[in-house]
A and B are shown apart, each in its own frame.
Chain A
Amino acid sequence: MAEGALLDAAMIETIMLTLKLATVTTVVLLLVGTPLAWWLARSRGLWKDVVATVVALPIVLPPTVLGFYLLIAMGPDSPLTALLGRKLSFTFEGLVVGSVVYSLPFVVNPIRNAFEAMGPRPMEVAATLRASPLDAFFTVALPLALPGLFTGAILGFAHTVGEFGVVLMIGGGIPGVTKVLSVTIFDYVETLQWAKAHILAGGMLAMSFVVILAMMLAERRLKKARR
């Protein structure tokens, strides 16, 4: 009942929305980021460096810059809007797109490192054992890069949960649609509802701690199992 309820309905709504956003974003990031990381790990030449730089940009750009350009890209006159036939701004789908762009380097880089650490030999061995490149990718490269995929997924998830600037810029803070945890916490802090802010912020802090700790422990176990 209400007497001791730690979370009210609005808080639960924002938590569920945030978890949904982070989950969907992580899945999309793995689907997009893994082939991209593979390409970056295997190809040479100028194009690779150009693409790698673009992927890395969100690390150095302030979220407001990224959010501003995303806002323009989702505006009525942009090619993206023309392609989709509707605006993505202020929608859940738009948040997913923004989060994917924003968290891309955090997913692509660990996976790319894992692919690069593997070296060319396993794929050559697979080829001499009649495995086609696609077959070898799924049966050799992916399993060998599993620790990297794992790290990438966790970082992508955590980074999406914690993102604020981009979400603020393209989300519009619509409850249940785009009003995620970080925006809600900001609201509570600004309106001096510190008790509620503490519950959410503390919960987020605890979750981040647990997630990153779990990741490091799991990664160590995974590496040990390989050795």
Chain B
Amino acid sequence: MIEASFRGRLGSFDLDVGFAVPGRGITALFGPSGCGKTTVLRAVAGLMRLPGGQLCVNGAQWQAGRRFVPPHRRAIGYVFQEASLFPHLSVEANLRFGLRRARCAPRIGMDDVVALLGIAPLFDRPAEMLSGGERQRVAIGRALLSQPDLLLMDEPLSALDRFSKDDILPYLERLHAALSIPVLYVSHDIAEVERLADTLVLMQAGRVRAAGPIADLLADPALPLIHLPEPAAVIDGKVIASDPQYGLCDVNVPGGVVVVPGDLGPPGTRCRLRIPASDVSLGRHVPLDTTILNALPARIEGAETTRDHQMTVRLRLGADGEGAALLARVSRKSWDRLGLHQGEQVVARLKAVALAESGPPSGPVPDPAENRRG
């Protein structure tokens, strides 16, 4: 459990935040630029001291009353927006900097990090000769090797171009799958958050607007996320079968089974599906003559009208309406013509192309525990 509350002056407004999030998985601090996300992250690291703050991470009291543990005594790893590698050290010496100073027996070794982040080829290069994405991977490895109990990431992708981002995102997902270290991840990019976060802390002008599981917050009609230009639902699932002949997988999600293109791994592999509302259409019946593979029963929970005569319909998968949350975007005309209403059972049709899998990058996920045994 990570419990934090901080108060302080922040530019033109007061910072007053408090949240309690699970002590595992990725928690995204999400909000517009300047809302205080980075300040909160720096306060958690101890790089900034906000008087009257409270911070307890998985049982360790880092700040309370007059108690303030300085940053170098906190078991954190911090990945800054710019990689901030030490220019006077080689890639390897950068990686070993935190490893040498770790205060506990290494749980993550050099070999694990090298394999997880694919940085073996970078070892002999000077830090300044790396690309932006490579540098950030080394910085993440360096933070991991300091054996953190909590990994803090401050918009680690925002300084990178699109190409470098795509290069590094799979590695972050791989970390998420392979390691049990909780992560606080600051971002203002909803796409990153949708791909990575388990828990979301939504911030606005120095306050916490909402905190909870990401799937719930994305579909919450009271929150601004649903009004984003391209609202989407994220659903975590598990592979139950694969069909190599067609290159498809069956993924079990709460309230149904979704057919996903691609090889997501053997049965049992966890994966996340991102389903944009614009790729979901609604009907009363299961269509018989269509190219769409996925037509799932769902129940309408509610609908919001957007400015441009569109409706964002909130759904729950399953015949009983107890499954995963899903969003569908339909025109007001269709809504009225079909006479849809809240509580009604419908069939949600998912375009195959819409199924954005976000599994691990190609290649097997190394198990750090296994590496050490070897």
B284 interface residue (CB < 8 Å to A): no
Interface residues of B (CB under 8 A from A): 45-47, 70-73, 76-78, 80, 82, 84, 86-88, 97-98, 101-103, 128, 142-143, 146, 152
Asked whether, in the complex, the Cβ of B84 is within 8 Å of the Cβ of A122, the reply is yes
- A143 an interface residue at 8 Å Cβ cutoff? yes
Name the residue on A nearest B70 (C-beta). A127
Give per-residue flags for A120-143: 1 if the beta carbon is below 8 A from chain B beta carbons, else 0: 011011111111110110011001
Nearest B residue to A124 by beta-carbon distance?
B47
Residues on the B chain within 8 Å of A131, using CB: 72, 97, 101
A132 to B87, CA, bound (A): 19
Cβ of B97 and Cβ of A129 under 8 Å apart?
yes
In the bound complex, CA of A124 to CA of B70 (Å): 11
Interface of chain A, main secondary structure: helix
Q: Does A44 contact B (CB under 8 A)?
A: no
Give 25 A-B contacts (CB < 8 Å), ordered by A residue. A121-B80, A121-B82, A122-B86, A125-B78, A125-B84, A126-B72, A126-B97, A127-B47, A127-B70, A127-B72, A128-B72, A128-B77, A128-B78, A129-B101, A130-B102, A131-B72, A131-B101, A132-B72, A133-B72, A136-B72, A139-B97, A143-B88, A144-B86, A144-B88, A226-B128
Instruction: Output the nearest chain A residue to B97 by Cβ-Cβ distance.
Output: A129
| B128 close to A227 (CB less than 8 A) | yes
A127 to B77, CA, bound (A): 10
Contact B70 A130 (CB under 8 A): no
- Contacting pair B86 A140 (CB below 8 A): yes
Given A121-B80, A122-B86; A129-B128 close (CB under 8 Å)? no
User: B47 near A129 (CB under 8 angstroms)?
Assistant: no
User: Min CB distance, B10 to chain A, in Å?
Assistant: 18
A226-B128, A227-B128 known; A128+B76 contact, CB < 8 A = yes
- What B residues does A124 contact at CB under 8 A? 47, 71, 78, 80
Query: Most chain-A Cβ atoms within 10 A of its Cβ — which of B71, B82, B103?
Result: B71
Residues from chain B with Cβ under 8 Å of A139 in the complex: 97
Chain A contacts of B102 at CB under 8 A? Answer: 130
Tell me the residues in window 142-166 of chain A with beta carbons closer than 8 Å to chain B beta carbons.
Answer: 143-144, 146
Q: Report chain A residues within 8 Å CB of B101.
A: 129-131, 135
CB of A128 within 8 A of CB of B86, answer no
Q: A144-B88, A146-B88, A226-B88 are in contact. List 18 more A-B contacts (CB 8 A).
A: A122-B86, A126-B97, A127-B47, A128-B76, A128-B77, A128-B78, A129-B143, A129-B146, A130-B72, A130-B98, A130-B101, A130-B102, A131-B97, A131-B101, A135-B72, A140-B88, A144-B86, A227-B128
